[in-house]
Structure 1
Amino acid sequence: MSDLLVRAIKQADAADIAAIYTFESVIANTGQIPLRDGQFWANFWKAKDPNGVELVCEIEGRAVGHLGIITSASHRRKHVASFGIAVHPDFQGRGVGNALISEMLKLSDNWLNIVRMELTVASDNQRAMRLYLKHGFVVEGEARFDNFRAGQFTHSTQMARINPAFADTVAA
């Protein structure tokens, strides 16, 4: 979509990002809890990983999607990262998640020296899983009773994508 702009996060995006995470449908598919204040979201990713990268997808001057890349601090896993993503419910199905993931993979593959990008997704979030599969992620397993959501335990699916430049170089 031509009206989508993926860019680095700005301090001015804090209110828009906080608004994304006020929806129970968004929180249900993240590892977060409801009722966090705007200050929490303004500092969330940097507190988790000061070397991480945060992106937003903007439509008509408003940040409607948010993605944070979390790099590994382990010396032996510096080539590994994970990410979290959320899209405002009013803008789901408009290519926001696709645009964010596409930009994230360009950064990871070409600038961040990331070979392996990992994620954990709610096993019942089929829409998100289809999006990840479209971008080359593969299912590596399921963690049963891995998350607690709305009073019930749920399962999570682990997925990963190997940078295509390295896909055939893995030691046996």
Structure 2
Amino acid sequence: MDLKIRAMRAEDVSDIFEIYNQPAFRAGTLALPYESFEAVKKWAEPRSPRDLHLVAQLDDRVVGAAALRPFYGRRAHAAEFWIGVHEDFAGNGVGSKLLAAIIDTCDNWLNVIRIEMTVFTDNERAIALYRKFGFEIEGTHRAASFRNGAFADVHCMARLRPSNGA
């Protein structure tokens, strides 16, 4: 698979809209069903000039997307992120390549030492991906989200940049 990671462009929104409205994406995120194109376009836009928005491109098609959102002030050393992968390409390393790019940017360009996110406790594939990159479960939020007619728990996970001996 000749996958290319690059910065998100305005013309990528159609492919991101398709990913956003897939059942697997909705099950693993806080997305609601039947989101409009305009709502997804606004959601995909950077909220700050510090945000990093990436896509995974295969041929001429976006098959995954990710965003890094660094915090400010006393939390300027930390950031949160999200990743979404097209259902047809899940399990093929797309999420790994996107997460590797996010971590490289944090470690080598932004001096972000803490990367964090929440993940549904039953999302075993995502949890395995995050653990592979050094994320650890720091706690569990009970009944954190309403999904498929029931309340669901999420783990809060974080990765602290390994010390470089300095």
Settle same-fold status: TM greater than 0.5: yes
Partner of 2:36: 37
TM-score normalized with structure 2 length = 0.94
Q: One-letter code of the match for 1:28? A: A
DSSP 3-state at the match of 1:35: coil
Q: CA deviation at 1:104?
A: 0.6
Report what 2:12 is aligned to. 13
2:84 alignment counterpart: 86
Structure 1 gaps of 5+ residues are none
Alignment partners' CA distance in 2, 1:51 and 1:115: 15
Residues 46 and 52, structure 1, Cα contact 8 Å, conserved in 2: no
How far apart, in 2, do the equivalents of 1:65 and 1:133 lie? 20
How far apart in 1 are the matches of 2:49 and 2:144? Answer: 26
Runs of at least 4 residues of structure 1 off by over 3 A? 45-50
Kept after mapping to 2: 8 A contact 1:45/1:52: no
CA offsets per residue over residues 65-87 of structure 1, 9 Å max, x none?
A: 010111113x1001110001110
1:161 aligns with 2:159: yes
Where 1:32 maps in the other structure, the secondary structure is coil
Residue 50 of structure 1 deviates from its aligned partner by 4.2
Which residue of structure 2 lines up, in the alignment, with residue 131 of structure 1?
129
The aligned amino acid for 1:80 is A
Question: In structure 1, what residue type is equivalent to 2:90?
Answer: Q
List gaps (5 residues or longer) in structure 2. none
Q: How many equivalent residue pairs? A: 166
Q: Percent identity?
A: 38
Q: Deviations over 1:16-50 (max 9, x none)?
A: 00000111221110112111122222221435444
SS of structure 1 residue aligned to 2:28: coil
CA distance in 1, matches of 2:15, 2:59: 12
Aligned equivalents of 2:88, 2:48: Cα separation in 1: 29
TM-score norm. by structure 1 comes to 0.91
Q: Considering only aligned residues, what root-mean-square deviation do their CA atoms show, in Å?
A: 1.6
Report the CA distance shift for 1:103/1:47 in structure 2 as closer, same or farther (over 3 A).
Answer: closer
